[in-house]
Chains A and B, each alone.
Chain A
């Protein structure tokens, strides 16, 4: 089969590799029809993780089931399914609690498994013609009957829509709240969409890219361009000097200042400054225990200089970590089915798999207009 293979920093190619296949009786084999490039793929693309050369990337996939293992009961050949980026077993202590992003069995030694991701188990990625799905009965979300025509909407259920929603859950967004979101990438935009769905009265989105801020504004959010002036001042102005009720971090450890220099504590400290006293912060942007490629000494050790004094003094609280996609994807799929949301509005490019290497390069450079790429391996 054809698949997008990581060769090394900023070097990926579409290669002929052995076909994915059923390896265990609980597996499901999916023919991938849509698979996205994620911002977190770029951490690996840039060589900023322990990703091993030769592995297939991709963890945001949707496709048609073409084979099921002998121990699979629920999933049938022909089902159109969306795969959460997290791989869970369904029976460990964390999966039982709905925390499938922290499954204890699929990736021994570490918290959680995922497709084609550094440090998240031996599972191949979905930027390929076929994908092996472990514990298929548990992991597959069988999509509503309109799945084929809304495929670019439903594929967002694999990661960014639930992840954006998770940011608002971690931040505790409730009707009437004001929310400040750092990052207008796909996750930040999905967080803005989720906050709006939950009835937030004011949604502010901070980024340096005008094309992305325009997308946020289409949702009714207020775009704040951090290259135009002081972000903190602007948020405080919009919130009567108090700060937002809730804040979301949708950028992560490679966050940059207006000069595109990495300042890993920038968004976290701005959140402390721009969320009100007693407000809550949800952090879904990726932060890692170590970052050997970082310029800064603290960052290399996975640390940031965090304004903890201010955070404590303001009585703020915080929730962190990756989304447990299965906790949300079924509910969110109904919103798509009933035309309440259309997450494909952020898609800028739908491309055949063969064009993935150049798409990675453009997306990595944040070229104007490249917000979200959906790859179509069948085309």
Chain B
């Protein structure tokens, strides 16, 4: 890792994921409105799922435990973990889905709403509290980045339209 890390801290890195996923959800909504073919939508749905899985896992393995310890706020982190579990259930359904268009659209929409609410709470509560706690969020960035890269490799290439 010779390149300097551009993210200010762990929250900055994790929030870059939030923004990227939000953009994909908006693209998905646009595809639905434009009547795009199911194959195109399915690829985007898979990309969203993969991005969220990597994101959730680095949060759960690295970020949440350290924030839990530094802030002592068990309730907040338990809630966030619960929200991750709900999102993962929807992700599993999307990944297994072969069938109808309408089902996929509805599931992605449901995931969008779940993530929207989760991100809002994470930004307004967890990130803010973490930054105000005695916690080395800058140092944590390197750990998160390393694990993020490992997981991306493990989960395999992000699907492209050609591969679908």
Which A residues are within 8 Å of any B CB, using their own CB? 24, 50, 52, 104-110, 119, 121-122, 289-290, 297, 300-301
Contact = CB atoms under 8 A, between A and B. Distances in A.
Contact of B123 (A104, A108, A297): A108
Query: Which 8 A/B pairs are nearest by Cβ-Cβ distance?
Result: A108-B127, A122-B124, A109-B15, A109-B123, A108-B11, A108-B123, A297-B33, A301-B30
A50 B124 CA distance: 14
Nearest to B15: A109
Contacts of B8: 104
A328 B12 CA distance: 29
Interface residues of B, number: 21
B124 A121 contact: yes
Contact of A105 (B26, B29, B131): B131
Interface of B: 8, 11-12, 15, 18-19, 26, 29-30, 33, 116, 119-120, 122-125, 127-128, 131-132
Interface of A is mostly: loop
Contacts of B119: 109
B116 A108 contact: no
A289 B30 CA distance: 13
Nearest to B121: A122
A19 B29 CA distance: 41
Most buried by B among A104, A110, A119: A110
A110 B26 CA distance: 17
Given A52-B120, A108-B131, A109-B123, 5 more contacts: A24-B132, A50-B116, A50-B120, A106-B128, A107-B124
A108 B15 contact: yes
A11 B123 CA distance: 26
B128 A122 contact: yes
A109 B7 CA distance: 12
Nearest to A301: B30
6 contacts: A104-B8, A105-B131, A108-B15, A109-B123, A289-B26, A300-B29
Contact of A122 (B30, B125, B131, B132): B125
A52 B29 CA distance: 22
Contacts of B131: 105, 108
Most buried by A among B8, B30, B128, B131: B128
B54 to A, nearest CB: 18
Contacts of B19: 109
Nearest to A93: B8
B26 A109 contact: no
Nearest to B126: A108
Contacts of A301: 26, 29-30
